[in-house]
């Protein structure tokens, strides 16, 4: 492996002449204060993959790998120095050291990505040189929808490893939706007894006639969540939980019918939704609902230490609110002029509630409609527009426009893509995605915290399907999030593709079911299952 095969490519890498560093059974590991987590990670990953002890050694001992926090570097920056007599990874913080260790693993070859050694005595030579690196953005993420299809805990832990391998540091965990509620809330047991499973599932896009006639469900216990959050923390990944309100809430209403618009429909007759799209069955903006979700968020805050808490806020149809006498009374009583303002009032309630507890609200860009809550940040998904408006108004933004980084969308225009959805967005398209739109001034652009890919799982029934949609495109997103790249048209995609050759071997070693460059393998296809193959169609058609 060489410095020319890294993904994401580092800001600066320079090969030196002379002998490389030999990593073998005699190599020791020295960890300075604050780097113990990376020490453990190196010993378990490289120690397992290469069957090396990486025994603790003395500081500066010849033939050692040393880890050190260096306050001169920016927090997530690192400097990796490889010489014949030793390797040093310096980071501006524990996270910087960890990202440097991830780069070091890439220099050791694809086998370093396995869980155990495929042959004994794995000696490696790493070429001499220096890598100096730091991320462009502080928010480099992926959202995973575990509501449409549940991903068991082991799969989530595996995804955290995959994010870390790409130097991504935010896991946006979409835990609730119309089709399932996935987190145990102790005070509301029916959220897991009733709302965590559905009796059957639409197979394909909602226009499909096909059904998978078996129950689908699952949820994370609070201890599962604690484990996930702690594991993510060990990989320097923040887990941002999403509890979607006031739309995308049918599963919760199925469990607790009093949360719905009971004067408009018989909410007691609602089940957890078994199809896809946007349901009209949304929360009633009542005191009952507010108190209920405050109870939910109280438990969520205990489980998730992240500053940001995502409250959804997307795709809340207003028909039931228009038809409900109780809701109309509420609008009147609050002195609001319409249902958009009511949604805004609802979100503001949780903005104040979260702020009072030292957290910050983030929501999908619909939270801009009717006025953006103070201190709130926006996930700009319907395009750049919401993010631009939010940044211009002084709000923080995560850029994740569906036209660019929705990984449920198909990655090739061919007929063989499994359950093709939405826009065709190739690996190259993602590589040429620019998170900061040119309309923003430098000052406004500082509100762009970063970017993330969003993975909606309506047509991803198990982790192999998730892998297929996510990879290789997440590798491109990771480079976009990590590196200062030229303007989209000037980016060297040929060079990225060349580096991907080495990266596919790493993904193979990690057991990732990615889309091969030549298209889906026979078992990755889904012939006859209807998707949404209309290029340029409006969202959610
Ligand atoms: C979304 O895609 N509804 C945020």
* Residue 534 confidence (pLDDT) above 70: no
* Residue 436 confidence (pLDDT) above 60: yes
| Residue among 205, 216, 236, 248 flagged as catalytic | 248
Q: Could you confirm whether domain 3-133 is CATH 3.30.379.10?
A: yes
* Residue 539 confidence (pLDDT) above 50: no
pLDDT of residue 537: 53
| Residue among 178, 315, 366, 444 flagged as catalytic | 315
pLDDT of residue 235: 98
Which ligand 1 atom is at minimum distance from the Cα of 454? 2
Tens of pLDDT, residues 298-316: 999 999 999 999 999 999 9
Decide: 136 and 76 in contact? Cβ < 8 Å: no
How far does residue 381's CA lie from ligand 1's centre (Å)?
6
How far does residue 223's CA lie from ligand 1's centre (Å)?
28
What region does 42 belong to: left with phi over 0, alpha with psi -120 to 50, or beta?
alpha
Q: Is the CB of 314 under 6 A from ligand 1?
A: yes
Mean pLDDT of the region 350-379 = 92
Residue closest by Cα to atom 3 of ligand 1: 314
DSSP string, 162-202: HHHHTT--EEEEE-EETTEE-B--TT-THHHHTTTEES-EE
Dihedral (Cα; 354, 244, 430, 275), 10-degree rounding: 180
340 Cβ partners below 8 Å, 6+ apart?
A: 318, 369, 370
Q: Considering only CA atoms, which of 191, 144, 222 is closest in space to residue 463?
A: 144
Q: Considering only CA atoms, which of 417, 397, 398 is closest in space to residue 515?
A: 417
pLDDT of residue 533: 62
Q: Domain limits of the chain?
A: 3-133, 142-479+515-524
Tens of pLDDT, residues 43-96: 999 999 999 999 999 998 999 999 999 999 999 999 999 999 999 999 999 999
* Residue 122 confidence (pLDDT) above 90: no
DSSP string, 245-296: ESSS-HHHHHH-GGGB-TTTS-GGG-----S-S--S--B--SHHHHHHHHHH
Task: Supply 483's token pair.
Answer: 């590196």
Tens of pLDDT, residues 191-219: 999 999 999 999 998 889 999 999 999 99
Tens of pLDDT, residues 258-291: 999 999 999 999 999 999 999 999 999 999 999 9
**Does residue 248 carry a catalytic annotation?**
yes
Q: Is the CB of 406 under 6 A from ligand 1?
A: no
Q: Considering only CA atoms, which of 120, 203, 312, 472 is closest in space to residue 111?
A: 120
Q: Is the dihedral of CA 439, 494, 410, 458 positive or negative?
A: negative
Task: Supply 1's token pair.
Answer: 């492996």
**Does residue 315 carry a catalytic annotation?**
yes
Q: Could you confirm whether domain 142-479+515-524 is CATH 3.40.640.10?
A: no
Q: Is the CB of 408 under 6 A from ligand 1?
A: no
Q: Is the CB of 171 under 6 A from ligand 1?
A: no
| Residue among 76, 145, 177, 365 flagged as catalytic | 177
Q: What is the DSSP letter of 372?
A: P
Mean pLDDT, the chain, rounded, equals: 96
* Residue 121 confidence (pLDDT) above 50: yes
Which helix (H) or strand (E) covers residue 375, if one does? none
Mean pLDDT of the region 353-374 = 91
Which of 28-37, 372-381, 384-393 shows the lowest per-residue confidence on average (mean pLDDT)?
A: 372-381
pLDDT of residue 510: 98
CA 134 to chain centre: 20
**Does residue 503 carry a catalytic annotation?**
no
Distances (CA, A) of 129 to 5, 79, 113: 14, 11, 22
* Residue 247 confidence (pLDDT) above 60: yes
How far does residue 309's CA lie from ligand 1's centre (Å)?
16
Tens of pLDDT, residues 178-188: 999 999 999 99
Q: Is the CB of 381 under 6 A from ligand 1?
A: yes
Main-chain dihedrals φ then ψ at residue 394, nearest 5 degrees: 90, 15
pLDDT band at 1 (very low <50, low <70, confident <90, very high): low
Please state whether beta strands 55-56 and 216-217 pair in parallel, antiparallel, or not at all (unpaired): unpaired
Which of 278, 367, 380, 381 most suits a substitution to test ligand 1, by most atoms within 8 Å of the C-beta?
381
The answer to whether the 3-133 and 142-479+515-524 domains have the same CATH topology is no
Mean pLDDT of the region 166-188 = 98
How far does residue 226's CA lie from ligand 1's centre (Å)?
26
């Amino acid at each position: 492996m060489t410095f020319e095969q890294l993904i994401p490519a580092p800001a600066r890498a320079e090969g030196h002449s002379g002998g490389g560093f030999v990593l073998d059974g005699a190599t020791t590991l020295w960890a300075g204060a604050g780097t113990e987590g990376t020490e453990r990670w190196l010993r378990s990953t490289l120690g397992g993959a290469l069957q090396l002890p990486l025994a603790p050694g003395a500081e500066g001992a010849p033939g050692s790998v040393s880890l050190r926090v260096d306050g001169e570097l920016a927090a997530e920056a690192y400097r990796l120095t490889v010489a014949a007599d030793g390797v040093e990874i310096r980071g501006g913080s524990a996270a910087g050291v960890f990202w440097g260790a991830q780069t070091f693993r890439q220099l050791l070859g694809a086998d370093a990505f396995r869980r155990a050694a495929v042959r004994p005595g794995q000696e490696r030579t790493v070429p001499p040189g220096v890598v100096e690196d730091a991320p462009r953005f502080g928010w480099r993420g992926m959202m995973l929808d575990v509501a449409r299809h549940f991903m068991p805990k082991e799969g989530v832990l595996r995804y955290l490893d995959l994010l870390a391998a790409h130097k991504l540091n935010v896991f946006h965990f979409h835990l609730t939706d119309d089709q399932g509620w996935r987190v145990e809330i102790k005070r509301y047991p029916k959220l897991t007894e009733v709302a965590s499973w559905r009796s059957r599932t639409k197979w394909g896009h909602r226009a499909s006639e096909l059904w998978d006639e078996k129950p689908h469900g699952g949820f994370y216990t609070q201890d599962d969540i604690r484990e996930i959050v702690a594991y993510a923390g060990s990989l320097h990944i923040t887990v941002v939980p999403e509890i979607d309100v006031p739309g995308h809430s049918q599963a919760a209403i199925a469990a607790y019918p009093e949360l719905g618009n009971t004067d408009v429909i018989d909410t007691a007759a609602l089940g957890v939704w078994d199809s896809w799209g946007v349901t009209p069955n949304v929360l009633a903006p009542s005191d009952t609902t507010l108190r209920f979700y405050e109870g939910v968020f109280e438990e969520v805050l205990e489980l998730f230490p992240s500053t940001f808490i995502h409250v959804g806020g997307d795709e809340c149809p207003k028909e039931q609110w228009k038809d409900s006498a109780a809701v109309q009374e509420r609008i009147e009583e609050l002195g609001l002029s319409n249902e958009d303002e009511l949604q805004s009032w609802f979100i503001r309630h949780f903005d104040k509630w979260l702020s009072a507890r030292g957290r910050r609200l983030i929501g999908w860009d619909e939270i801009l409609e009717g006025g953006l809550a103070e201190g709130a940040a926006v996930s700009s998904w319907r395009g750049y527009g919401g993010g631009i408006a939010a940044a211009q108004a002084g709000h923080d933004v995560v850029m994740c426009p569906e036209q660019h980084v929705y990984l449920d969308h198909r990655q090739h225009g061919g007929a063989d893509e499994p359950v093709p959805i939405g826009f065709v967005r190739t690996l190259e398209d993602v590589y040429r995605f620019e998170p900061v739109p040119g309309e923003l001034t430098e000052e406004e652009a500082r509100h762009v915290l970063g970017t993330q890919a969003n993975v909606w799982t309506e047509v991803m029934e198990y982790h192999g399907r998730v892998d297929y949609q996510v990879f290789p495109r997440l590798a491109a997103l990771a480079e976009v999030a990590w590196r200062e790249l030229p303007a989209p048209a000037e980016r060297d995609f040929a060079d990225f593709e060349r580096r991907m050759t080495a990266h596919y071997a790493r993904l193979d070693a990690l057991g990732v079911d990615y889309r091969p460059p030549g298209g889906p393998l026979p078992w990755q296809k889904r012939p006859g299952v209807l998707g949404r193959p209309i290029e340029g169609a409006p969202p959610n058609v």
